[in-house]
Amino acid sequence: MPLLRRPRPPRIQDALFDTVARWHGDRPWGRVLDAGTGRHSLRWILGLPTDGWTAVTGAESRATALTDEHRDHMRPGDRFAVGNWQDPGFLAGERYDVVLADYLLGAIDGFAPYFQDRLFARLRPHVGGRLYAVGLAPYDEPTDAVGEIVWEIARLRDACILLAGHRCYREYPRDWVERRLAGCGMTVVHAESVPIVYRERWIDGQLDVCLRKLPRFGDHGLAAAMRGRVEELRARAKATCALHDGLRFGHDWIVAAE
């Protein structure tokens, strides 16, 4: 087992990552590529017995912040890589035992618009063992008050993103992912959909995105009205969440391919 400067941080509890770990079984993790890193996926990888990891981000500021946050747990072979998967030379020639694409498919539209249909073909040369892809399925039309609240939050978030001049995430369903993986010559070995239960943390996280976009609105009156709308929806969503012990709507997907 590789030596660490300090003991690994405790494994985080996450239903999606727990499924990935169950599928992986007793296979060694080896060298891991986090193809679109964030605090959550990186914390999970830090808790694994890896031989080394590379975490990719499209922003230098994100790499600097994560390095400062996790420096004490990094070994000489661990590193952050700043780049864009549209660049054919990015990480050229590097292969990993495990490649993790955690919510990368939806998020990449903000860094590489219209590239999603080529993402898995681009990642394939880096997969020496398994690729684990995790994502959010597009929402179906809601059929009850809980689903309506989730839809309302998502629509308001996206409206604020667009009014700020930024790009929204674009999510794809599991069957689309499986077709793309098969189309680039990979074999899907596991696939599962996991129902979602949203809690207050998600409500605050999504609506706080709205607040961060308001300063970029060109119309100050519209920004002020939108702030009031955000807080009204926040209060209503939290009340609904408490009444139903969470907002049960939609599902995530997990796909493993070799």
Whether pLDDT at 153 is above 50: yes
Tokens of 87: 């660049």
* pLDDT tens profile 35-65: 999 889 999 999 999 999 999 998 899 899 9
What is the pLDDT at residue 13?
61
Q: 77 Cβ partners below 8 Å, 6+ apart?
A: 2, 31, 51, 52, 53
Alpha-carbon gap, residue 17 to 177, rounded angstroms: 18
* pLDDT tens profile 205-222: 999 999 999 999 999 999
Alpha-carbon gap, residue 42 to 119, rounded angstroms: 20
The domain 1-136 is placed in CATH, from the list 3.40.228.10, 3.40.50.720, 3.10.20.30, 3.40.50.150, at 3.40.50.150
DSSP three-state, residue 135: strand
pTM of the model: 0.90
Alpha-carbon gap, residue 203 to 149, rounded angstroms: 10
Q: Calculate the average pLDDT of the chain.
A: 93
What is the pLDDT at residue 208?
98
Alpha-carbon gap, residue 215 to 226, rounded angstroms: 11
Whether pLDDT at 2 is above 90: no
Q: What percent of the chain has pLDDT over 70?
A: 95
- Is residue 71 classed exposed, middle or buried when 0-12, 13-18 and 19+ CB atoms within 10 A define those classes? exposed
Give the containing element (helix H, strand E) for 194. strand 188-198
**Which 8-state DSSP code applies to residue 148?**
H
Q: 75 Cβ partners below 8 Å, 6+ apart?
A: 2, 3, 4, 5, 52
Q: Residue holding tokens 């100050």? A: 220
Q: Which long-range contacts (CB under 8 A, 24 or more apart) does 62-71 make?
A: 62/37, 66/37, 66/39, 66/42, 69/39, 70/42, 70/46
* pLDDT tens profile 95-145: 999 999 999 999 998 888 899 999 999 999 999 999 999 999 999 999 999
Domain ranges of the chain: 1-136
